[in-house]
Amino acid sequence: MSVATVRHTAAALLAVTLVAAPAQARHTDVDRTYEAGRGPIEVGVKVAGNTAPLFLASNRPDRWYLEARQGAKYEITVKNRTGRRVGFVLAVDGLNAIDGRLSASASHEPMYVLDPYASSTIKGWRKDLKNVSRFVFVDERRSYAERTGQGNGDLGWIRVTAFHEERPLYGGTIRWRESGRDDQPEARDESQAGDAKELEKDAPAPAAPEVGRRATNGMGAQGMSDAAPAPAREPLAESNPGTGWGPNQRDRVRTVEFQPRPVAAAQVILRYEYRPTLTALGILPWRESRDRTWERERGLYGFAQPPGR
């Protein structure tokens, strides 16, 4: 090998290093999990029937990230990790999921109540004690918050705020109301027939969730039709996700007496974004979503590697 060739090879290696360095700088230490826990509660999310991974970045330890898929329905499961009843306020896009109003995640708001060590899956905006409109990922401009004139700075955020009971209920019998006969899958949406995962049947819950009687006042999220969301499509490069008013889902709850403490025990915060945004934030690895056309143009494949299969 001539001296000129060696110099040329060294320069080429240096060029690859200089080009690749900025991409490496975008990496963030990220833990992947399926349950986000804080204080007395643990939160998980299913998107289109599949448990969604949650990402916790070392530089953002106050929130978990998850990927939004446009047109996909999702649901939120909250588990009580304690031996006492716990109430929680669920705010989606800044709105209380029970009454559809702007939320401050405060103790005076409508909230769900969990018995000791129980869990409940919240599938949508509550319309009454028997029905919800499913949570569904849509572009921000089609979100429930924007369509009801309540757009705010929390679009793209899910906050689950837990409250201990002021006067804990000790002893006695925990009463469960079976809901299997009332939980019926929503009607098939032909506009989304191409996506089988989004039309899965929802298994009945083992027991009906409870809603604090003092806070509900018999009101639920209102003012929207049950028209099916637009068919799923690739999100625009500059678009941001929100949560829309999806199809009706039979989902029964009952009211109970619950006096929350005025100060929250803990809050689990989730932020959902489309994949390109998660990649730009360093939450998803650059190599998982890199532009193959750009790579082919620059020839950034490095040295020969054994085939994976």
pTM of structure: 0.69
Question: What average pLDDT does the chain have?
Answer: 76
Least confident stretch, 26-35, 79-88, 132-141? 26-35
Pairing of strands 157-164, 95-96: unpaired
pLDDT in tens, 177-225: 333 334 444 444 333 333 333 323 333 333 456 676 543 333 456 556 5
277-294 average pLDDT score = 69
- Does 75 have pLDDT greater than 90? yes
Collapse the DSSP code of 156 into the 3-class scheme (helix H, G, I; strand E, B; otherwise coil) and give the result: coil
Average pLDDT over residues 52-58: 95
Mean pLDDT of the region 136-155 = 96
Q: What is the pLDDT of residue 220?
A: 58
Q: What pLDDT score does 74 carry?
A: 98
**Per-residue confidence at 169, pLDDT binned at 50, 70, 90?**
low
Q: Flag whether pLDDT at 229 surpasses 70.
A: no
C-alpha 176/C-alpha 178 separation (Å) is 6
Q: What is the pLDDT of residue 285?
A: 81
DSSP3 helix / strand / coil % (the chain, rounded to 5): 20, 30, 50
Q: Is the pLDDT of residue 159 over 80?
A: yes
First to last CA, the chain: 34
Residue 167 has a pLDDT of 79
Q: From CA 53, how far away is CA 64, in angstroms rounded?
A: 10
Model confidence at 170: pLDDT above 90: no
Look at residues 71, 26, 11, 73 and name the one whose alpha carbon lies nearest to residue 282.
26
Checking if the pLDDT of 160 tops 90, the result is yes
Name which residue leads in pLDDT, 96 or 223. 96
pLDDT number for residue 239: 83
Contact partners, residue 64, CB within 8 Å, separation at least 6: 33, 36, 54, 55, 56, 268, 269, 270, 271
